[in-house]
């Protein structure tokens, strides 16, 4: 964690799920940063001008930002002592982090990627960072799950801000945003029984093609990808209940049989149901 990187991209190597370090965010000065699926960056010292999705922010000590792989980010006018700690999260681990988070948080973060320091931030974040460093530096049996829990704690802490802001902004959503976030909510409600895009498009009174345009614009993914991702999380939660048979899980999640459930799960995760259950045991 003490090594300062000046030119290493904020992106993960193939196969990696998580990385942390310190950087001046000067991968290529005045050029776009290359980002992982999710990036948390916290200013430790100094200051810099950060432009995120064409909005400018002045970043100072204890300010932080949450970025995505499709964020457009420039960093300029760094002070000589500007330094950030960073945390890189892959899509696979981000999906497991997200499954228990409130939907309102995702809209909040898409609109508000930058956070200025205030007393709650100054009290909470250094403690969170020290604990995360301690977890990463040790070899733990359940290290991946502990890291997931650690980030869930952080994002749930941010959810209070999301709730407060939602009250002031709830009438400010465009029709497209409203439809897209309604689709996200419907996935959580119906994914255990419905996996077809047409079902959700009908509930929203739009065509599957239009729904696809919306999700690509706001979530950078297809509707089917978003549905399947949540179904996989539901399957994983069922697999944690070791007394449940594969056929019981198939029945509860509206799969024709355990064999088809296994093929579906393996196609999306690269591992079969039995092997995954053994792994989490």
Residue 209 to residue 250: CA distance in whole angstroms: 29
Q: Let me know whether 148 and 253 are in one domain.
A: no
pLDDT at 120 over 80: no
Strand partners, 72: none
Question: How far apart, in whole angstroms, are the C-alpha atoms of residue 122 and residue 105?
Answer: 21
Q: How far apart are CA 231 and CA 254, in angstroms?
A: 11
Is 270 found in the same domain as 183?
Answer: yes
Q: Are residues 182 and 102 in the same domain?
A: no
Q: How confident is the model at residue 163 (pLDDT cuts 50, 70, 90)?
A: low
Question: Domain span at residue 112?
Answer: 4-168
Same domain? 198 vs 222: yes
pLDDT at residue 170 is higher than 60: no
pLDDT at 53: 81
Provide the sign of the torsion angle of the four alpha carbons 197, 198, 199, 201, taken in this order.
positive
Cα–Cα dist 89/110, whole Å = 16
Question: Most confidently modeled of 67-81, 175-189, 242-256?
Answer: 242-256
CATH number at residue 149: 2.60.120.280
Pick the range with the lowest mean pLDDT from 77-86, 130-139, 232-241: 232-241
Identify the pLDDT of residue 8: 57
Do both 155 and 73 map to the same domain?
yes
Query: Do 140 and 195 share a domain, yes or no?
Result: no
Assess whether 26 and 121 both reside in one domain.
Answer: yes
Mind spelling out the 3-state secondary structure of 205-273?
A: CCCHHHHHHHHHHHCCCCHHHHHHHHHHHHHHHHHCCCCCCHHHHHHHCCCCCHHHHHHHHHHHHCCCH
Q: Which of 133, 153, 168 finishes a domain?
A: 168
Q: Answer yes or no: do 38 and 154 share one domain.
A: yes
HSE-CB at 42 with a 13 A cutoff on CA atoms is 18
Most confident of 12-16, 107-111, 137-141, 165-169: 137-141
Residue in the block written with tokens 């007393």: 119
**Domain edge (last residue) among 149, 168, 187:** 168
Total domains in the chain come to: 2
Distance CA 198, CA 196 (A): 5
CA distance 218 to 176: 9
CATH of the domain at 218: 1.10.10.60
Fill in the DSSP letter of residue 152. Answer: H
- The mean predicted confidence, pLDDT, of the chain is 85
Q: What is the largest CA-CA distance in the chain?
A: 62
Q: What is the pLDDT of residue 262?
A: 95
**Which band of pLDDT confidence, cut at 50, 70 and 90, is reported for residue 4?**
low
60 lies in the same domain as 190? no
The span from the CA of 221 to the CA of 239, in Å, is 26
Phi–psi pair at 238, nearest 5 degrees: -65, -35
Q: What is the pLDDT of residue 28?
A: 46
> What is the rounded distance in angstroms from the CA atom of residue 234 to the CA atom of residue 277?
14
Cα–Cα distances in Å, from 172 out to 101, 169, 175, 186?
22, 5, 9, 21
The answer to whether the predicted template modeling score (pTM) of the entire model surpasses 0.75 is no
């Amino acid at each position: 964690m003490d090594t300062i990187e000046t030119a290493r991209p904020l992106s993960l190597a193939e196969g990696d799920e998580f990385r942390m370090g310190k950087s001046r965010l000067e991968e290529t000065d005045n050029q776009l940063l290359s980002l992982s699926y999710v990036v948390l960056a916290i200013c430790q010292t100094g200051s810099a001008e950060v432009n995120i999705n064409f909005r400018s922010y002045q970043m100072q000590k204890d300010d932080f930002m949450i970025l995505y792989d499709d964020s457009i980010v420039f960093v300029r006018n760094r002070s000589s002592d500007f330094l950030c700690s960073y945390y890189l999260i892959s899509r696979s681990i981000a999906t497991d982090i997200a499954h228990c988070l409130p939907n309102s948080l995702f809209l909040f973060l898409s609109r508000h990627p930058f956070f200025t320091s205030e007393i709650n931030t100054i009290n909470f974040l250094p403690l969170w960072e020290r604990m995360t460093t301690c977890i990463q530096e040790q070899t733990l049996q359940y290290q991946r799950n502990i890291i997931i829990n650690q980030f869930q704690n952080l994002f749930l802490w941010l959810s209070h801000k999301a709730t407060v802001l939602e009250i002031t902004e709830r009438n400010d959503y465009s029709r497209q945003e409203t439809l897209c976030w309604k689709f996200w909510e419907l996935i959580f409600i119906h994914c255990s029984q419905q996996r077809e895009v047409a079902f959700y498009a009908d509930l929203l009174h739009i065509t599957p093609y239009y729904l696809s345009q919306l999700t690509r614009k706001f979530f950078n993914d297809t509707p089917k990808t978003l549905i399947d991702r949540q179904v996989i999380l539901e399957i994983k939660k069922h697999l944690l209940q070791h007394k449940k048979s594969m056929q019981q899980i198939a029945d509860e999640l509206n799969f024709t049989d355990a064999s088809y459930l296994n093929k579906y799960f393996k196609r999306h995760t690269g591992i079969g149901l039995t092997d995954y259950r053994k792994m989490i045991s």
